[in-house]
Amino acid sequence: MKSKILFLSTYPPRECGIATFTRDLSDSMQKKFGNHIQPAIISMEESPSSLRVYAKKVFQHITESDLESYVAAAKKINSMKNAEVVNIQHEFGIFGGDYGSNLISFMGCLEKPIVTTFHTVLENPDDEMKHVVKEIDAKSRSLVVMTQIAKDILVKDFEIAPEKILVIPHGVPNVSFGGSNELLKRKFGLQGKKILLTFGLLSRGKAIEYVIKALPKIIKENPSAVFVLVGETHPKVRKEEGESYRNELRVLSKELGVEESVKFLDEYLSLDKLIECLKLADVYLAPSRDRRQICSGTVSYALAAGKAIVSSPNKYNKEVLLENRGIMLSKNDSNFFANKVNFLLANPSKKKEFERNAFSYSRKMTWQNVGTQYYTAFSKLSKIDKYHSRLPRINFRHFYNLSDDFGVMQFSDYSTPLRESGYTLDDNARALSVAVKAYSMFSSSRMLRAADTYLSFLERAQVESGHFHNVYSENRNPIDDVGSEDSFGRAVHSLGNLVNSSMPDSFKARARVVLEKTINGETTVLSPRAQANSLIGLVRAKSIVDFSTSKIGSLIDSLISKFDTHNEEKWAWFENYLTYGNFIIPEALIVASAHDESGRASEVAMSSMDFLTKTHFINGKLVPIGQDGWFVKDEERAYYDQQPIEAAGMTSAYLKAYSVTNNADYLQKAKDSFEWFLGRNSINQMVYDDSTGGCFDGITRNGVNLNQGAESTICYLNARLSMQNCWNNSI
């Protein structure tokens, strides 16, 4: 039976920011951890007559003014054996009583662990507010706020122990960065316009009039500027005063002569439509009257969309718009809004800097990452199964996006391929291996065409000696005489995979020609990684390509000799340092162990793999050796920058070890290694980007490297394909 994670909150179709937050949080946890947990909702209602038609996950309702409904809900939860944790999404206004004090009766009856998320934290509370918050604290096992400022207020003004408070940012959708918004402008009938945009449920607290009063000055310098106001009137406001505020804004626009430059989109938008609107914007505007506002979902979403933001002053914006992530005004002033908007529109390079910084900062805020942090918090208070994500859907979009008719391009600017970075044998050999594996699984005609491109690259790159060019310019000319040993090894590895696959015979015949020329040429390699890749390729080609098996034996012997030379009690390795792609070496010895006359290949493979396990796992998490210094024997290891090639290589090697030994520990280590891509890593952030199908270029001290180059994306896909049939195996 799956563990239930319960959320007490408002919930859609109720039109409320917390309702949307709870839906997105519970959905993200279901998507990522649904193998082990089942989120369920207790909805807050204004009155018995306000009960809505909800999704199935809403199983209980509480009327905010009815104390008996609070107690009844608590008793029902207590009777649920698989209910592990209750997360209260707290806002003073959604619970009845003074400062929402009716909630205390629910918490007092509940026997399950409680985690309370505060969406509003106010400085200088009066005695009654302070009493209510401290009661909530006393009955909660843990508290969550969304900013450090909010935590500081709880500690200082409410006297709450800091160790009890977690800071988990407001969640945001995972939106791809960059690209032109002109097609969207055309879709909305706004082609050729400079779009200033804000969104959210409309109320007087939004202070929209400051923006409208700024428009004459903005339009004077930017005649094509249009202000788009997205969102319907807040339901409580509509109930009290109808559409009077919206109508006042329309009158103000007309009085100022800017009515043609103000567009009202009076809708409560779906997430997809909202993201479209955000991408439409050239500048995002965030006016507000409330200087004490401690969290803003709308500003968070604008950060996630990578928008240059101009905002009113408040506590949330003060924290998140630091370091050129946006512009916070010193006060609400129409001239200030106008000046800053005009500055951004006149300085596209500065605007781009704000956009990049905003997008980069928001990566830790994506729902996958926020859901993981909540899951971790809940697991510490309950019997939830150990961290084990669902596998993401296989997505080749960025893989194809990186490729043209010549090969796969080397680098990307975010997810935009950089043709000027050229092409490498390394990447095209890796891409060929992924294409072969993917075709064997899905028989895709598009993947077959991609494989043809990568195989053609290898054919073209081969020189007379049997070696290969490695690097080609954007003009498709080689810029080296002969490539590196490591690129040579990867080429042999990929060709061996192809000839011993389910690819069409014509492909295998072409690969065999290239491979035979390589084997029979002057192609000795000394690097252990090049030897390891070559060894795997030769073993897989052995029954198809005619060559002396002594070549396999020689490579095995050379690797074992290197191991014997450097092996010590605390250093079971082939060199005096650990750099990149380490796990390919023990994997190669496992693959080749059946061809080892000495019988030592398997022993050396397992010894070196166990050594790598000890050096690469810290507190159960994979922490690959960082390329900023590597790990030299008897010196301190580097922790950053961690590269996807390491996590992918470890996944592959552990799976190979499991297939040979049937030792479940290796299968678990393969899963642990792959989860590095899914947020189980040093910074608890996703490295795989499901909005593009690409993979970020590693983990730095400051977060993920947001570029999505060929090596990273191809290594991720290779590991993801390898995990397809074993992810849910019992261990």
Q: Which helix (H) or strand (E) holds 639?
A: none
Residue after which a domain boundary falls, among 543, 569, 586: 543
Do residues 605 and 699 share a domain? yes
pLDDT at 386: 65
Do residues 135 and 201 share a domain? no
pLDDT at 728: 59
Q: DSSP of 450-487, one letter per residue?
A: HHHHHHHHHHHHB-TTS-B--EE-TTS-B-SSS--HHH
Do residues 263 and 212 share a domain? yes
Closest CA to 492 of 527, 456, 466, 464: 466
pLDDT at 547: 78
Closest CA to 701 of 618, 627, 614: 627
- Sequence-distant (6+) residues with CB within 8 A of 375 are 29, 32, 33, 37, 384, 387
Do residues 209 and 306 share a domain? yes
Do residues 135 and 203 share a domain? no
Only one residue has tokens 């301190």, namely 636
Residues in the chain where the model's pLDDT stays below 50: 729-731
pLDDT at 180: 82
pLDDT at 689: 95
- Reported in sequence order, the residue ranges of 111-160 that DSSP labels E, i.e. its strands, are 114-118, 142-145
Q: Which two tokens stand for residue 156?
A: 């200082």
Do residues 82 and 191 share a domain? no
Give the Cα separation of 572 and 656 in Å (integer). 19
Residue after which a domain boundary falls, among 167, 190, 208: 167
Do residues 322 and 419 share a domain? no
On whether residue 388 sits in a domain, the answer given is no
On whether residue 598 sits in a domain, the answer given is yes
Q: Which two tokens stand for residue 595?
A: 């061809």
Return the percent helix, strand and coil in the chain, to nearest 5. Answer: 50, 15, 35
Q: How many domains does the chain have?
A: 4
Residue after which a domain boundary falls, among 315, 344, 365: 365
pLDDT at 387: 66
pLDDT at 300: 96
First to last CA, the chain: 18
Do residues 408 and 263 share a domain? no
On whether residue 42 sits in a domain, the answer given is yes
Give the Cα separation of 26 and 18 in Å (integer). 12
Q: Tell me the C-alpha to C-alpha distance, in Å, between residue 130 and each of 133, 289, 294, 604, 664.
A: 5, 24, 17, 64, 52
Where residue 414 sits, what CATH number does that domain have? 1.50.10.10
On whether residue 359 sits in a domain, the answer given is yes
Where residue 100 sits, what CATH number does that domain have? 3.40.50.2000
Do residues 440 and 519 share a domain? yes
CA 553 to chain centre: 43
Give the range of the structural domain holding residue 702, as residue numbers without chain letter: 548-731
Do residues 564 and 651 share a domain? yes
Do residues 722 and 661 share a domain? yes
On whether residue 137 sits in a domain, the answer given is yes
Give the Cα separation of 12 and 28 in Å (integer). 15
Q: Which two tokens stand for residue 150?
A: 């909010």
Do residues 23 and 116 share a domain? yes
On whether residue 377 sits in a domain, the answer given is no
On whether residue 370 sits in a domain, the answer given is no
pLDDT at 50: 77
Determine contact, residues 12/57, Cβ cutoff 8 Å: no
On whether residue 706 sits in a domain, the answer given is yes
